[in-house]
Amino acid sequence: MIRAGIVGASGYMGGEALRVLLDHPDVEIAWATSRSPSPVEDHHPNLFGTGIEFIHPDDAGPCDVVFLALPTAASIESARRFVDGGAKVIDLGSAFRLHDRSVWERVYGQPHTDWELAERAVYGLNELHAAEIAAADVVANPGCFSSAAILAYAPLIKEGFIRPDELVVSGLSGTAGAGAELARAAHHPEIGNNIVAYNAVDHRHTYEMEQELTALAGSRVRVHFTPVYVPITRGILDLCSGFLTRPAMRSQLLELFRDFYADAPFVAAYDLDKEEGASWQYRPYPWVSAVAGTNYCQIGIDVDEARGRVVVLCALDSVGKGGAQVGVENMNLMFDLPRTAGLTRRGAHPN
Amino acid sequence: MIRAGIVGASGYMGGEALRVLLDHPDVEIAWATSRSPSPVEDHHPNLFGTGIEFIHPDDAGPCDVVFLALPTAASIESARRFVDGGAKVIDLGSAFRLHDRSVWERVYGQPHTDWELAERAVYGLNELHAAEIAAADVVANPGCFSSAAILAYAPLIKEGFIRPDELVVSGLSGTAGAGAELARAAHHPEIGNNIVAYNAVDHRHTYEMEQELTALAGSRVRVHFTPVYVPITRGILDLCSGFLTRPAMRSQLLELFRDFYADAPFVAAYDLDKEEGASWQYRPYPWVSAVAGTNYCQIGIDVDEARGRVVVLCALDSVGKGGAQVGVENMNLMFDLPRTAGLTRRGAHPN
Amino acid sequence: MIRAGIVGASGYMGGEALRVLLDHPDVEIAWATSRSPSPVEDHHPNLFGTGIEFIHPDDAGPCDVVFLALPTAASIESARRFVDGGAKVIDLGSAFRLHDRSVWERVYGQPHTDWELAERAVYGLNELHAAEIAAADVVANPGCFSSAAILAYAPLIKEGFIRPDELVVSGLSGTAGAGAELARAAHHPEIGNNIVAYNAVDHRHTYEMEQELTALAGSRVRVHFTPVYVPITRGILDLCSGFLTRPAMRSQLLELFRDFYADAPFVAAYDLDKEEGASWQYRPYPWVSAVAGTNYCQIGIDVDEARGRVVVLCALDSVGKGGAQVGVENMNLMFDLPRTAGLTRRGAHPN
Amino acid sequence: MIRAGIVGASGYMGGEALRVLLDHPDVEIAWATSRSPSPVEDHHPNLFGTGIEFIHPDDAGPCDVVFLALPTAASIESARRFVDGGAKVIDLGSAFRLHDRSVWERVYGQPHTDWELAERAVYGLNELHAAEIAAADVVANPGCFSSAAILAYAPLIKEGFIRPDELVVSGLSGTAGAGAELARAAHHPEIGNNIVAYNAVDHRHTYEMEQELTALAGSRVRVHFTPVYVPITRGILDLCSGFLTRPAMRSQLLELFRDFYADAPFVAAYDLDKEEGASWQYRPYPWVSAVAGTNYCQIGIDVDEARGRVVVLCALDSVGKGGAQVGVENMNLMFDLPRTAGLTRRGAHPN
């Protein structure tokens, strides 16, 4: 059994790691930490009766793998401590996601205190970097909006189907993405029947998207990203537009996506075909509530041939495939376990 | 491996049976039926890529256990067919829940066409009837509101702590309880920011509650039940009031509940203690979203000593512990499998 | 024009007073205060462009009527200051609602610092106390749950139709009732798809209900009240049960209610009749979303003749008819304006 | 008093016209029609007690102005009948919105049976066409998404600030926009905690946007529009991206918008400035819930100078400023009433 520790387990991301690992056939929980030690159900009512007690981070002993769910500065410090202690580290935060130090420091508004570790870290989008992740001792889990947008654009950008500097992304997110900390924009009377955009330009995740897509394109990619909170609890939908460089049909692009993700067990692509005659049509893909609580990702593709645009819709759970569950998928790769171990349970419907 | 069939798998209840059984270590899905054969994802977007195709009920072959998720009349007919074919039957509907034929026929507004089968059926609340369920070939799964209210009152009624004819229950339900069929009261613009009571008196589930609690009390019990739809997708909370026949303290009743449910792996009881000084207090029990999607049930107990009232709050998922998942728990009992097999996965938080 | 001031205008209750008074034909806003002076739209985005700037309470000058939306202790002090300055005071909080000092001090956990003022205050449920309100200089606006429950029981209790010591009330509330202050139980990821009861017994509003109904009954009334938060933004539904002292039919009780509220322009009573044959029936009364944002109240009545119970459902908006708008209705009475002035606009549908 | 009739008053759009006109100082309701005559509260519970009875369309007599809330074909026929009878007609549907017959017939999938009337109709976006509307006898009310997108782009397109063929719009809508007719995608269990895109390309409103913006630009405009349903009841947010043709600062564009809308009483523009140091920032503009139920529209502007993009967020209510209320504003113009008559009431907060 692999012994796993979770640092910062009282938040949503750490709690989700805990929930999934409790059910993982090859893992035992070594410990879970919180700055104010307490029973797990004070923070995660779903884990009542599991007997877990949060311990103080200083009391965390050695283990095989550590999941970090911490603010940026604490994450850097903690990562170093556990790596030096011989553990593999999966950082669920943003401390190690960018390869360019000056960009990181500007975007996060602070000096990076351990860039050597950042250079060792692998960007944890395993559909692109499975082999490096398997060999890594530090993995930087991607941001949720970034995961969805990169998965949506990767096949198109790699094959040059769309113009690289006019990618437009609207990221619609449930409020779990804002975390457990109280905030006016997540106060139910304010958001419960509302739609609120924020960081209309230059959101931090933009830089991850540009980094990864530029590497695939071989030339500079520009992403124009705006996030929005909508009143669902979990899950995001990225609406991704691209302008075609050459004519393409939906069926052709669908095949491209299915080839690209042939080895990805959690990514499913569909075309958004319409049935004739309905006054407004939909196909249930992607369906945010169908992937909420899971490590699955649904992608839907449509093409406006007359206007030369491709639309890719990508749904995943910011705490699941866009967060702690993809961390577990990465752990599986790092420890040579079956990639899908502990992660195949489907979400509820309705959800 | 036990071979399971699901009749009426396109609705929410049948879909949930399918989802849970897909993940059950000792079961394989023999078939799932729908009147209009189609791929599963046309109805349950969470089950995309599982390759299941619904077949017509007439094409359903023999198997070990059949879950019925059907309208009442169809359920009676179908139950007979499969029982005669040698399968055990778990009816997720209301065809076999009541022991008094004249009551059943009045409440459901139709003659019962196979009362012999109804007499063989066991009421599937396994916290009360585990042994009979294990020996049954037809199990009548309880209604969701009924499960919650009976679990909330059973220990108190059995021990005579409350007056039996003044039980008052408010049942708050998510809209999944209304089923997949379109209805104005489940139309999002109408209910999305609304609270709507219905059947203010004499709801059908009342008769199940009275039947089971009367049996426990040894004298006639009267339940005064009103259901309400609130805009959540899954889960119910029954608020159950009782008038004390003798003084009782919260701690004493908590012990009573914990003893009563000592062998019930999915029922957890708590007292609703309040912390001093907060302007409005809560403890996260029961927490509907923490049991949504699961087979767990949370019970919270409080006592108003000055006014002589006990309050029991009971949260469960109408499609899970109040529906298809408790059906799987009953199947486990009927086939001598570990009672918790396939059912221990915790719900997400947030959810 | 009547000059009105609002103290504590940055919260939801004060903001609602401001919104309604801005549209009142006979009122001008003298000032609105907040501890941190700022433009109104920093707190109430609906009032953008109205040009209102919050001032510090110390800068509030004389005016004809003052609405207080403050914590209890501040409210008492502020009320005295404005009354002494010659203004009429409408307190939207709980400082002056109870007539028994020892009960008030126990319930609110503090000594009352100006009981003389409390004795002069009139309980502001104008369906019961219109004449006293018209003559008052201090009005204590009722709590939201209390307004709904008292309106639901008053005709029945006055005429002795129900047993006075077994009134059972479930109060379902939107999160606006919790106020603008951030709280975990109003954090969207926690409550957005959840149902959470709190103060299962002995909630403060219980004492208002008992005070008013005891006065009507002429003998001691006991109310057994439990409040619950559900994920709507505004509005409450009180489910009120009573045990009949003598047989009664729905039509008879409906007539009783219509007579009782014949002069009440904002209260409408209906019977909850059911259509034959529907699998689950509803009539759109009471309909919380139909009264949200307004000063209207809908009451629905049903009788379970076999079990001897009457159910009264009462819907109103905790910030409207249960809060600031009823304050304006009281102001109309106090200044001999048309009772409905500024208050007749219907809510939206859907809402 | 102007006598107004409403055809198709049982739907959401017709019901909103009714609600607002009931409160209009210069209008009296002549009649409201529905195919199945019934009391208004069977359809609109907010209008209980108003005494309105829907009549059959054939019984509708002459009046001064008629609001049509009908399916397309019925709308064309009905418009002709009332225009010939001497009334002014405001069509809340899509029968007369497009100026190019072949485009209209392809988009709506049917021949247009009265193109002469379509040619007389004025596109009812009064911020662009106030004078023509004042002189018109048929006004074609814009689609909700179209209103928001045209208002968002008009100043930029007119002044040539953005490239005209790469306008990308994500339209986020509450479910009221889907209407009162039951549909799976508006079934609460499906959408209540979900995000669902539809018509990913080539939605009908695209053609209105292109028509109006092309007229302003003087050259062909291409709009790339995708709509999405999110679980709010009312209101939409259009996220509009444009690529700058020349450098521009936020303050400069804000001034441009304020000049452009200087005479528009219901449109307010803001810049989306960010406060330093917050981990995620927002200003409460635009705030969908603040304009829900009203005729107001909030616009927020931001510029990504490094990437050359402008973002315009536009919030309005699809049934209010994007529907029936803008119809009333147009009526005010057509009858030389004060433009804001009956429309200035602010929405609730929270809402």
> D320-332: per-residue pLDDT in tens?
999 999 999 999 9
Give long-range contacts, CB 8 A cutoff, 24+ apart: C268-276: C268/C296, C268/C297, C268/C298, C268/C299, C268/D48, C268/D49, C269/C299, C269/C300, C269/C301, C270/C298, C270/C299, C270/C300, C270/C301, C271/C300, C271/C301, C271/C302, C272/B200, C272/C300, C272/C301, C272/C302, C272/C311, C272/C313, C274/B199
Q: Does A12 touch chain C (CB under 8 A)?
A: yes
Q: Does B196 touch chain D (CB under 8 A)?
A: no
At residue A36, the pLDDT reads: 83
Contact present, D99 and D149 (Cβ < 8 Å): no
Chain B residue with CA closest to A342: the answer is B345
Cα distance from A234 to chain B (closest Cα, Å)? Answer: 7
At residue D345, the pLDDT reads: 93
Q: What's the Cα-to-Cα distance from A3 to each of A26, A47, A317, C277, D206, rounded to whole Å?
A: 9, 19, 26, 60, 55
Rounded Cα gap, residues C271 and D55, in angstroms: 25
At residue B246, the pLDDT reads: 97
At residue C283, the pLDDT reads: 57
At residue A284, the pLDDT reads: 59
Helices (H) and strands (E) in chain C, counts: 11, 13
- pLDDT bin (cut points 50, 70, 90) of residue C260 is very high
**Does position D347 have pLDDT exceeding 90, yes or no?**
yes
Contact present, A213 and A156 (Cβ < 8 Å): no
Provide CB contacts within 8 A for D58, sequence distance 6+.
none
Phi, psi of B14 (to 5 degrees): -65, -40
- pLDDT bin (cut points 50, 70, 90) of residue C101 is very high
What is the distance, to the nearest Å, from the Cα of residue A57 to the centroid of all Cα atoms in its chain?
A: 25
Residues of chain A contacting residue B50, judged by C-beta atoms under 8 Å apart:
346
Please say if B144 is a catalytic residue. yes
Rounded Cα gap, residues D213 and D151, in angstroms: 10
Residue C96, beta-bridge partner list = none
Answer yes or no: do C170 and B202 touch at CB < 8 A: no
Answer yes or no: do A346 and B293 touch at CB < 8 A: no
Q: Where are the domains of chain B?
A: 2-120, 145-316
Provide CB contacts within 8 A for D341, sequence distance 6+.
D24, D25, D26, D332
Q: Which of B126, B52, B50, B118 is nearest to B89 (CA)?
A: B118
Rounded Cα gap, residues D242 and C197, in angstroms: 47
Q: Does D183 touch chain B (CB under 8 A)?
A: yes
Contact present, B268 and B299 (Cβ < 8 Å): yes
Nearest to A350 among B42, B176, B290 (CB): B176
At residue D281, the pLDDT reads: 38
Residue C238, beta-bridge partner list = C171, C314
Question: Which residue type occupies D37?
Answer: P
Q: Which of C213, C124, C111 is nearest to C160 (CA)?
A: C213
At residue C7, the pLDDT reads: 98
Q: Which of A296, A280, A169 is nearest to A221 (CA)?
A: A169
Q: What's the Cα-to-Cα distance from A277 to each of A90, A274, A280, A282, A305, rounded to whole Å?
A: 49, 9, 9, 12, 20
Percent of chain D with pLDDT over 70: 97
Q: Domain B2-120 adopts which CATH fold? A: Rossmann fold (3.40.50)
In 3-state terms, chain D is what percent helix, strand and coil (to 5)? Answer: 35, 20, 40
Residues of chain D contacting residue A185, judged by C-beta atoms under 8 Å apart:
280, 282
Rounded Cα gap, residues D76 and D74, in angstroms: 6
At residue A41, the pLDDT reads: 86
At residue A98, the pLDDT reads: 98
C160 backbone φψ class: left, alpha, beta (φ>0; ψ -120 to 50): left
Give long-range contacts, CB 8 A cutoff, 24+ apart: A276-284: A280/D178, A280/D183, A280/D185, A280/D198, A280/D199, A281/D198, A281/D199, A282/D185, A282/D196, A282/D197, A282/D198, A284/B41, A284/B42, A284/B45
CA-based angle B207:B212:B218, to the nearest 5? Answer: 115
DSSP class of residue B57?
G
- pLDDT bin (cut points 50, 70, 90) of residue C38 is confident
Q: Does A16 touch chain B (CB under 8 A)?
A: yes
- pLDDT bin (cut points 50, 70, 90) of residue C37 is confident
3-state class of D341 per DSSP? coil
Q: Lowest-confidence range among A281-285, C210-214, C240-244?
A: A281-285
Phi, psi of B45 (to 5 degrees): -60, -20
Nearest to A186 among C188, C231, C232 (CB): C188
Answer yes or no: do A194 and D287 touch at CB < 8 A: yes
End-to-end, the C-alpha distance of chain C in Å comes to 32
Rounded Cα gap, residues D102 and D112, in angstroms: 9
Residues of chain A contacting residue D228, judged by C-beta atoms under 8 Å apart:
172, 237, 239
- pLDDT bin (cut points 50, 70, 90) of residue C165 is very high
Q: Six-digit token pair at A326?
A: 């993809």
Residue D287, beta-bridge partner list = none
Rounded Cα gap, residues A37 and A59, in angstroms: 11
Mean pLDDT in residue range C173-197: 94
DSSP class of residue B272?
-
Rounded Cα gap, residues D284 and D290, in angstroms: 9
**Does position B277 have pLDDT exceeding 60, yes or no?**
no
At residue C215, the pLDDT reads: 98
Give B 111-150 residues with CB within 8 A of chain C.
none
**Does position C276 have pLDDT exceeding 70, yes or no?**
no
Q: Does D319 touch chain B (CB under 8 A)?
A: no
At residue C284, the pLDDT reads: 59
Q: Which of D11, D218, D209, D240 is nearest to D97 (CA)?
A: D209
What is the distance, to the nearest Å, from the Cα of residue A83 to the centroid of all Cα atoms in its chain?
A: 23
Positive/negative CA dihedral, A93, A99, A101, A105: negative
Residues of chain C contacting residue A12, judged by C-beta atoms under 8 Å apart:
189
Rounded Cα gap, residues B209 and B148, in angstroms: 9
Q: Lowest-confidence range among A208-217, D41-50, D78-87, D100-109?
A: D41-50
At residue C274, the pLDDT reads: 54
Positive/negative CA dihedral, D190, C198, C227, C295: negative
Count of C-beta atoms within a 10 Å radius of residue D152: 30
Residue D271, beta-bridge partner list = D301
Contact present, B224 and C309 (Cβ < 8 Å): yes
Rounded Cα gap, residues B306 and B294, in angstroms: 37
At residue A89, the pLDDT reads: 98
Question: Which residue type occupies D294?
Answer: T
Helix or strand (DSSP H, E) at D168 = strand D167-173
Cα distance from A195 to chain C (closest Cα, Å)? Answer: 13
Rounded Cα gap, residues B253 and B158, in angstroms: 12
DSSP class of residue D153?
H
3-state class of C331 per DSSP? helix
Q: Six-digit token pair at A129?
A: 């970097």
Mutant choice from C165, C168, C243 vs B, greatest count of B C-beta within 10 A: C168
Neighbours of chain D (3+ CB pairs under 8 A): A, B, C
Mutant choice from A280, A281, A298, A319 vs D, greatest count of D C-beta within 10 A: A280
Residues of chain C contacting residue D237, judged by C-beta atoms under 8 Å apart:
none
Mean pLDDT in residue range C296-317: 96
Residue C225, beta-bridge partner list = C169
At residue B351, the pLDDT reads: 94
Mutant choice from A193, A207, A285 vs D, greatest count of D C-beta within 10 A: A193
Residue A238, beta-bridge partner list = A171, A314
Positive/negative CA dihedral, B115, B116, B119, B120: negative
Q: Does A231 touch chain B (CB under 8 A)?
A: no
Residue B89, beta-bridge partner list = B66, B138
The structural architecture, per CATH, of the domain B145-316 is 2-Layer Sandwich (3.30)
Rounded Cα gap, residues D134 and D334, in angstroms: 4
Q: Which residues of chain A have a pLDDT value below 50?
A: 275-282
Answer yes or no: do A197 and D237 touch at CB < 8 A: yes
Q: Does D232 touch chain A (CB under 8 A)?
A: yes
Mean pLDDT in residue range B247-258: 94
